[in-house]
Amino acid sequence: MSENCILSIDIGTHSTRVAIINTRGQILWLKKFSYTLHYINEAFIEQDAWPIVEHLKGLIDEATQTEFSICAAGIACQRSTVLAWDSETGKPLHAALSWMDTRAKGEVTALARQQKAIKQKTGLVLSPHYGATKLAWLQRHLTENGERVFQMGPLISFVLFHLVAGRPFICDESNAARTQLYDIYTRNWSLSLKQLFGVGTGLLPQVLPCCANYGNIMNARGKSIPLVAVSGDQNAAYFALHSLEVFRKGGAVVANLGTGAFLLVETHLEHSPSNLLHTLLYSSEGSVQYALEATINGAGSAVEWLCEQWIRAGVREGASTERDRDQFFKELALWFERYQTADVKIPVFINTLGGVAAPYWRQDIPHNFIGVSDSSSWYAKAMAVFESIAFWVRRNVEEIEASRPVKLLVVSGGLLVNNGFRQMLASAVGKKVVVNTQLESTLVGVAGLAFAQLGQSITVDDSQTSTVYSPIFCDELEERYQTFKHYLDNY
pLDDT in tens, 333-385: 999 988 877 677 899 999 999 889 999 998 889 999 998 776 678 999 999 99
Residue 432 φ/ψ region, left for φ over 0, alpha for ψ in the -120 to 50 degree band, beta for the rest: beta
In a shared domain, residues 213 and 260: no
Alpha-carbon distance 2 to 464, whole Å? 27
Alpha-carbon distance 151 to 149, whole Å? 7
The answer on pLDDT for 1 being more than 70 is: no
Tell me the residue ranges of DSSP E strands in 219-297. Answer: 224-232, 252-257, 261-267, 277-283, 288-296
pLDDT at site 476: 93
Mean pLDDT estimate for the chain: 91
* Final residue of a structural domain among 204, 232, 260: 232
Question: Phi and psi of 235, rounded to 5°?
Answer: -65, -45
* Average pLDDT value for residue range 95-116: 91
Pick the range with the lowest mean pLDDT from 76-85, 233-242, 449-458, 463-472. Answer: 463-472
pLDDT at site 418: 87
In a shared domain, residues 212 and 292: no
**Reported pTM:** 0.88
Residue 86 — pLDDT band, cuts 50, 70, 90? Answer: very high
Domain-embedded: residue 77: yes
Domain-embedded: residue 488: yes
* Average pLDDT value for residue range 271-292: 89
Alpha-carbon distance 232 to 29, whole Å? 22
pLDDT at site 473: 93
Q: Burial level of 113, CB count in 10 A (0-12/13-18/19+)? A: exposed
In a shared domain, residues 103 and 153: yes
Residue 361's CATH number:
3.30.420.40
Residue partners of 474: CB distance under 8 A and separation at least 6: 427
In a shared domain, residues 147 and 215: yes
* Average pLDDT value for residue range 297-312: 91
Residue 318 — pLDDT band, cuts 50, 70, 90? Answer: low
In a shared domain, residues 279 and 149: no
Pick the range with the lowest mean pLDDT from 111-120, 227-236, 266-275. Answer: 266-275
**Helix (H) / strand (E) containing 356:** none
What domain range is 192 assigned to?
A: 4-232
Residue 249 φ/ψ region, left for φ over 0, alpha for ψ in the -120 to 50 degree band, beta for the rest: alpha
Kindly list the distances between the CA atom of residue 35 and the CA atoms of 16, 17, 51, 191, in Å, as whole numbers in the listed order: 8, 12, 8, 36
Residue 149 — pLDDT band, cuts 50, 70, 90? Answer: confident
Domain-embedded: residue 444: no
What pLDDT digit, counting tens, does each position of 450-478 carry?
999 999 988 887 776 788 999 999 999 99
Alpha-carbon distance 278 to 266, whole Å? 10
Domain-embedded: residue 214: yes
Residue 122 φ/ψ region, left for φ over 0, alpha for ψ in the -120 to 50 degree band, beta for the rest: alpha
Domain-embedded: residue 281: yes
What pLDDT digit, counting tens, does each position of 373-416 carry?
766 789 999 999 999 999 999 999 999 998 889 999 999 988 99
Radius of gyration (C-alpha) of the chain in whole angstroms = 22
Alpha-carbon distance 354 to 297, whole Å? 6
The answer on pLDDT for 244 being more than 90 is: no
* Final residue of a structural domain among 232, 263, 291: 232
In a shared domain, residues 276 and 362: yes
Query: Quick one: what percent of the chain has pLDDT higher than 70?
Result: 96
Domain-embedded: residue 239: no
Cis peptide before 359 (omega within 30 of 0): yes
What pLDDT digit, counting tens, does each position of 175-215 carry?
999 999 999 999 999 999 999 999 987 889 999 999 999 99
In a shared domain, residues 327 and 404: yes
pLDDT at site 375: 62
In a shared domain, residues 183 and 69: yes
Domain-embedded: residue 482: yes
DSSP assignment letter at 311: H
Domain-embedded: residue 309: yes
Alpha-carbon distance 138 to 157, whole Å? 15
In a shared domain, residues 268 and 228: no
Considering only residues 249 and 102, tell me which one the structure prediction assigns the higher pLDDT.
102
pLDDT at site 338: 87
In a shared domain, residues 214 and 294: no
Query: Quick one: what percent of the chain has pLDDT higher than 90?
Result: 72
Kindly list the distances between the CA atom of residue 195 and the CA atoms of 104, 123, 189, in Å, as whole numbers in the listed order: 16, 18, 11
> How many domains, in total, are found in the chain?
2
Count of positions (residues) in the chain = 491
Helices 321-338 & 378-400 angle (0-180, nearest 10): 70
**Helix (H) / strand (E) containing 32:** strand 27-34
